[in-house]
Structure 1
Amino acid sequence: MSEFISPDDTRYDERARALVRIGREAIAVADDEKLDAYFADDFVFHGPDGDMTYPQLRSFFAAMRAAFEGFACERRAIIGEGPYIGSRTCMSGRFTGPFEASPIGTIAPNGQPMRLELINLFRYHENGRLAEEWVQYDNVGFLRRLGVDLTEGR
């Protein structure tokens, strides 16, 4: 049994399977057409480093793909209720290019594997497009895995 949910797993409804697909087909790889169809024009992202608009989030995904070779965005668990989906998400790859979207500026690659575990809550509009997302993850732990010495300069 895989640790990740398949987009073909019929234990999940179509909206949940679409969430799995968008991670694999338009976040892990560049497909702005699919992203544009999935995200609402008024989408807002709420994360540890503040809010982002959809264009800002799309740029963040591009920065992740550029920095992390073999970048993946997979779902481990999904729970849905009404217009909401909760998910455990795993992003991973090998840190081979500069990461220009970190909260502390550009980070030089260290060649090491990267794995970022997130807890997401998604809200959808009645038309099915993604309207809002809240994300929590360990930003300090993420920076440490990228090789950042957070005690430097003290």
Structure 2
Amino acid sequence: MSEFISPDDTRYDERSRALVRIGREAIAVADDEKLDAYFAEDFIFHGPDGDLTYAQLRSFFTAMRTAFEGFACERRALISQGDYVGARTCMSGRFTAPFEASPIGTIAPNGQLMRLELINHFRYDENGRLAEEWVQYDNVGLLRQLGVDLTEGR
């Protein structure tokens, strides 16, 4: 049994399976047409580093794909109720190019594997498009994986 949820797993409702698909088919690989259809025009992302618009989040996805070879966005757990879906998400890849979207600026690659675990809460609008997302993840842990010495400069 895979640690990740399949978009064909009928134990989950269609909204949840669509969330799995968008991670695999449009976030992990560049498919702006699918992303544009999935996200509401006034989408807002609430994350550890502040709020982002859809355009800013899409730029973040591009930076992740550029910096992390074999970039993946997979769902590990899903809970759906009405207009909301909760998820455990895993983003991963090998750090092979500069990462320009870190909270501390551009970071040079170290060739190591990166695995970022996220807790997401999604809200969909009346048209079924993703309207809002709240995310928590460990920025300090991510920076350590990327080879940043957090004691430097003390």
TM above 0.5, yes or no, is yes
TM-score with structure 2 setting the length: 1.00
Tell me which residue corresponds to 2:33. Answer: 33
Tell me which residue corresponds to 1:127. Answer: 127
CA distance, structure 2, for counterparts of residue 49 and residue 67 of structure 1: 19
CA distance, structure 1, for counterparts of residue 71 and residue 35 of structure 2: 16
CA RMSD across the alignment = 0.3
Q: Partner of 1:151: helix, strand, or coil?
A: coil
Gaps of 5+ in 2: none
1:58 aligned onto 2:64: no
CA distance, structure 2, for counterparts of residue 135 and residue 128 of structure 1: 20
Structure 1 segment 103-142 matched on structure 2, within 5 A:
103-142=103-142
CA distance, structure 2, for counterparts of residue 139 and residue 82 of structure 1: 30
Give the C-alpha shift of residue 58 in structure 1: 0.1
Q: Partner of 1:135: helix, strand, or coil?
A: strand
Query: Which amino acid is 2:142 matched to?
Result: F
Query: Which amino acid is 1:100 matched to?
Result: E
Gaps of 5+ in 1: none
Give the C-alpha shift of residue 125 in structure 1: 0.2
CA distance, structure 2, for counterparts of residue 112 and residue 140 of structure 1: 16
Q: Which runs of 4+ in 1 moved over 6 A?
A: none
TM-score with structure 1 setting the length: 1.00
Give the C-alpha shift of residue 82 in structure 1: 1.1
Structure 1 segment 1-154 matched on structure 2, within 5 A:
1-154=1-154
Give the C-alpha shift of residue 44 in structure 1: 0.2
Residues 78-125 of structure 1 show CA distances to partners (whole Å, capped at 9, x for unaligned) of: 001111000000000000000000010000000000000000000000
Give the C-alpha shift of residue 126 in structure 1: 1.1
Give the C-alpha shift of residue 70 in structure 1: 0.1
Percent identical: 88
Query: Which amino acid is 2:91 matched to?
Result: M
Query: Which amino acid is 2:145 matched to?
Result: R
Tell me the number of residue pairs that the alignment of Structure 1 and Structure 2 aligns: 154
